[in-house]
Structure 1
């Protein structure tokens, strides 16, 4: 079977906004709608925009939201730990260079 001919992904219905323009597809990062996609006007919230907004995905199940939000919190914790470890690595490098410099200077005296 030719897999390149098979389009198994559902198509999102893209409709025109209130002023006839094509909206853009965005992804929500709020805790209540995490990962849920929506259509909105490119200039949404700006003066003169029609403020078109429409959900592209159905509302997620509560279990889905709980799992995704938990994973996102864990990812944020890991990211913070990586930053902390990076700072510590820089401190250790500086300390090592200071020790090397001290040894070199001491050997010169």
Structure 2
């Protein structure tokens, strides 16, 4: 019999329908609810998927993807930082544009 981590490793390369079937076939070990596939966006585990129970009291949690190499984590973290900075700059520019339109309309 395969261990759960072996099955998860194999499933991480499967199509979305296969992943859905896996989630249905492997419910929460504590309460029996269907677990949910989510993605971590923390600095330590960016873009790493995990499954957990929607019931907050269960605390049933398991990594779905294997750990990423340190270089990949560093690259993704840098790209996320650049993206967040660009979103902030876009927000500031939109506010300035709105103020200019208001000034133009009132003059």
Q: So what's the TM-score if we normalise by structure 1?
A: 0.72
For residue 88 of structure 1, give the secondary structure of its aligned residue in structure 2.
helix
Residue matched to 2:92: 84
Contiguous gaps of at least 5 residues in structure 1: 1-8, 100-109
**Greater than 6 Å deviation, 4+ residue runs:** none
Pick from 14, 33, 40: which aligns with 1:28?
40
Contiguous gaps of at least 5 residues in structure 2: 1-12
Superposition RMSD on alpha carbons, in Å? 1.5
Pick from 44, 50, 53: which aligns with 1:38?
50
Q: Which has the higher helix share?
A: 2
Alpha-carbon distance between aligned partners in 1 of 2:71 and 2:89, rounded to the nearest angstrom: 27
Q: So what's the TM-score if we normalise by structure 2?
A: 0.73
Q: CA deviation at 1:21?
A: 2.5
Q: What per-residue deviation string (whole Å, max 9, x for no partner) do you get for residues 56-106 of structure 1?
A: 00011111111111111111111011111001101111111222xxxxxxx
Residue matched to 1:18: 29
Aligned pair count?
Answer: 87
Say which one has the larger Rg: 1
For residue 38 of structure 2, give the secondary structure of its aligned residue in structure 1.
strand
